[in-house]
A and B are shown apart, each in its own frame.
Chain A
């Protein structure tokens, strides 16, 4: 399968304060994201996942090693614009991504930067707004929208570039449950209906269960890498890394300790209930 993002021995550290040694944030990471997949990246605060995400679209550049986006090296300044067009990014704070006072003007920001003719921009804006279900709000003022709606506008703003891959850096961290559900729904739809590659960085385990692959980071390196079933099934290992498993997995794990024999990869509520009912 074609790789969209590939990192080779990627190293990075933040500039140190005076008198202190710089702390490496990314330690020689080798990671490959394949086209059309949905990869979730998990890890405790400070493990380097946000820093890694910003390497994907050349917001940050490697100190050592390199990052290739569809074969293009992020260190090559001439290619940065094309890289950023292909790898869209959605961030945690909905407010701090919105640039305009009218929804459709904000969604138009990216295509305007890319120099498309006005009619083309209009078409992309409408398309993107429809994809996130916010077309009726196109003439509204963003600051009057809810957090979930603002985040959907931010996603539309990225989709207007027609990226190959979208990286989501904790997109639901500041949203209420309704907003979270809406955003996750769109993320899954993007992947399933439009074939967009998705990289989701999150703390919420129950969002990661929908991914094809889970990468767990710890202290600047990759600690675990596998399907959700494989990764969450290793309950002890996850806990040792200071993280938690989805409640469904926890339930199955505890039931197994009490004598049941249940598969640990029944991650969704539905799968979990089915697995339990079969055992009884």
Chain B
């Protein structure tokens, strides 16, 4: 059963993270024991490795975990690296969802260009790890957590409503769906105006960034 295997591996990872956080001197021992446990789990149910559900679940877990670490890690540099992990997970989701072109764009533009920009700025400003975790105080913090929980509950409720509908297998597999040809064709015909507007936006952003970051504006 891929789901049980997935849950087992997630428990193994979480236990390892907890041991590493609270008892750093036991990290090696815990790593060896839990690694053997994970291998045993995989040996018991090695066929699950061939199922898509298992891998998608694992990638989803990695995406959620890295997103949480982006938010809670005190060092901005580590946050950036975990955000890159998150972007790669989402690129894998794009591949699974038949968006090959977007998966390539995601890695080239997001992980390759935008995150390098972030890394560059953090290195330029030479930011130190925050003392403690510098978060908003009192009411704003609890309000934010409450709002996040309520928002998640609302979205989950909305999506659960869809689960009642019968699942329709989406036709036959079309290998040209999501390829550069199809997306580009739409981009240069139906959405040509939006495409040109996007180029204008990029030029405006470039000029704005240069003017803003210049040492002295006269």
Whether A associates with B in a native complex is no
- Chain B residues close to A by CB (< 8 Å): none
- Chain A residues close to B by CB (< 8 Å): none
